[in-house]
Structure 1
Amino acid sequence: MEDAPVSTKIEAIKQPKTTGNLFLKKLIKNKLAVVGLFIIIIMVITAIFAPLIATHPPEAMDTGNALVDLGTNGHILGTDNYGRDLFSRIVFGTRISIIVGILSVGFGAVIGTFLGLISGYYGGRLDNIIMRLMDGLFAFPFILLAITLMTALGNGLMNVIIAIGIACVPGFARLVRGQVLSVKEEEFVEVARSIGSTNGRIIFTNILPNCLAPIIVYGTMSIAGAILSEAALSFLGLGVQPPTPTWGNILKDGKDFLVLSPHMATFSGLAILLTVVGFNIFGDGLRDSLDPKMKV
C-alpha cells in the first residue's frame, strides 16, 4: 500500500479537525442558533445588571402617573395601573425568569439524570419501579403538574423552582435511561468491568460523559418551557407574588387594561416570547451541532 502524498499529510497537520472545532464550526454556521445565543446573552446581562439598567425602582407606586403612555415623564414603556415604571418592572422580571429557568431545570436535570443512570444501568425491578414512577408523573401535562405541586407547596420563588424542577424530572430520566441502555453495551464499558472498576465508577466516569450531549441539548430547550411555566403560574396567581415584578404578574395586571393601555400586556408578552424563542432556536442549533450525522 502506497503512503499518502506528503502534501496531504502536511495539510492534515496544518488543519486538525478536533471535535471542539467541528462543534463550533457547525454552531456558528447555524445563523438561527447564533441569534438565539445572542438573545440569551442579552437576557442574562439584563438579569445580572437589572439595578443598573432600570430607570426607576420597580415597586415604587405613583398613582398620579398611572397608565401613562410610552415615553411620558421619563417612563420609557409607560406605567402600569399603579403608576409603576413598566420598563423597570420588565427588566427586573428578567431576573426572576432566568433564575427560575436555570435553577429549576438544573434541579430537574440532576435528579432525573441520576434516576435515569441507575434505572438504565441496573435494569430489572429497580428499573421498573423508577420508570413506573416517571410514567405516573408523565400522566399529568407539564403545567398541570406544576400547578398541582404549587398548590401543595404554596407560593414563593423557591417553591416555583422546586415545582417546575420536579415536573422536569421525568423527561430527563427517560432521556438518560435510553442513552444508558445504548452506552452500557459498548466495548469500553466491558473493558472497565474487566479491570475491576466499581459500578459507581463505571456509571459516572464511563457512561455519564457519553450522555452529556443530549442532556445539554434537552436542558437548554427545557429552560424555555420552565420560563413559560413560571409566567403561567404567576399569571394564575400561584407563582411569585406581587409586588415582586415577574413577566406573568405584569401580564396578569395588563389583561384588565387591554383597551385602555395595551402596552402593559404587550411588552411583557413580547419579553416572554423573545426569551422562549431564543432558548428554543439555540437548543435546536446545539442539537444539530452535536449530531455527528450533520455535515459541516
Structure 2
Amino acid sequence: MGDDFASGVLVAAVRRVLADDGVAVGAAAVSGAHVPLAVKRELLGGVAAEHGLLVLLRAGAAVLRERSDPLLAALHAAAGPADLLDRWARLERFAHSRHRVAVQEMGVDLVRADHVGPRGEPPQPGEDALILGLLTGLMGAAGARGLTVTAGGHTVYADGNFREPPPDLAQWCFSWSGVESRPFAGPGGADLAARARHLLADDPARRWTLRDVAAGVGVPARSLQRRLRHERGFTGMLAGVRAEAAAEMLRAGPLPLGVIGFTCGYADQPHFTREFRRRTAMTPGQYRAAFAVESRT
C-alpha cells in the first residue's frame, strides 16, 4: 500500500470498516486514486497506538465486506492460496507498491512470507497488521480450511479467530489442512467454446492455463485445444476476454486504469497498454477518451 491506486481503494475501505465497528479515525479525507504515505501512516499508526494491532488485524480481514469494489472482488475470487499470492504480486506491480509480500516458501499446505520495504524503510507494525489481516481473510475466501497464521513465531489466527499479535509481526506463516475447490458454475449445456469463454470471463484476473480451463469444463486439454482453433486458440480467447472486460470497465466509469488492468488479469501497466492497443488499436486512456466524446455527441 504505497502512494498509489491501491492505497486509495484499500485505505478508504479500512476507514469505513473501522468507523462501522465504532473505532474512531482521523478526519482526513481519503479520496481519489492516490493517498500520501504520511496520511496512511498517520491513520494506521493512530489506530495502533489507541486501540492496538489486533484491531487492525481484524479490520484487514473485514475489508472483504466491500467485495463490490472490483479490486477486492478480484482478490476474493482467487482459486487457492497460490493463485491469491500470484494476484497479490500483480497488484503490487500495478501499484508500484513501496512494500511487498516476499514469499520465502510455498508448499502444498503452507506459505512462509516476509512483509518487506525499501532498504532501511520497513513497513510499520500497523501496516504489517493490516495487510496480514487482509491476506488472512483472503486465504479463507480462497478455500484454505483449518487455517492457522503465525507472525514472528506467535499464533495470531486459529480456529477462526484472531489473537493478540506480537509487536514485530513482519514474518508470516500461513498453514492449512486442505483447500476447498470452487466448482465451475457456467452453462453446462452450452457449446464447449462458450463454456470456456464463460469460465474465463467469470474471473479474468486469474492466471489461466489451458489445463485449468479444460478441468473447469470437464474435458481433456487436447480436446479443448482442438475446439478453440477457430478462436485463435486458447491464448487468443483469453486475450479477447480480457480486452472485452477491460473495455467494458473503461466505458462504465472513472475507475483508475491500474485497477482495471489488475482486475482484467494483465501482468502490469505496460502489458495492459500493449495488449489492449493490439486488440483495439487504442491505448486504454485513448479508448476511454474516445468513448467519453462519443457519449456526449
Query: Do they superpose with TM above 0.5?
Result: no
Query: Shorter-chain-normalised TM-score: which range?
Result: under 0.3
* Between structures 1 and 2, the one with greater helix share: 1
Larger Cα-atom Rg = 1
Give the TM-score, by structure 1 length: 0.23
**Greater RCO, CA 8 A, separation 6+:** 1
Instruction: Tell me the TM-score normalised to structure 2 length.
Output: 0.23
Larger strand percent:
2
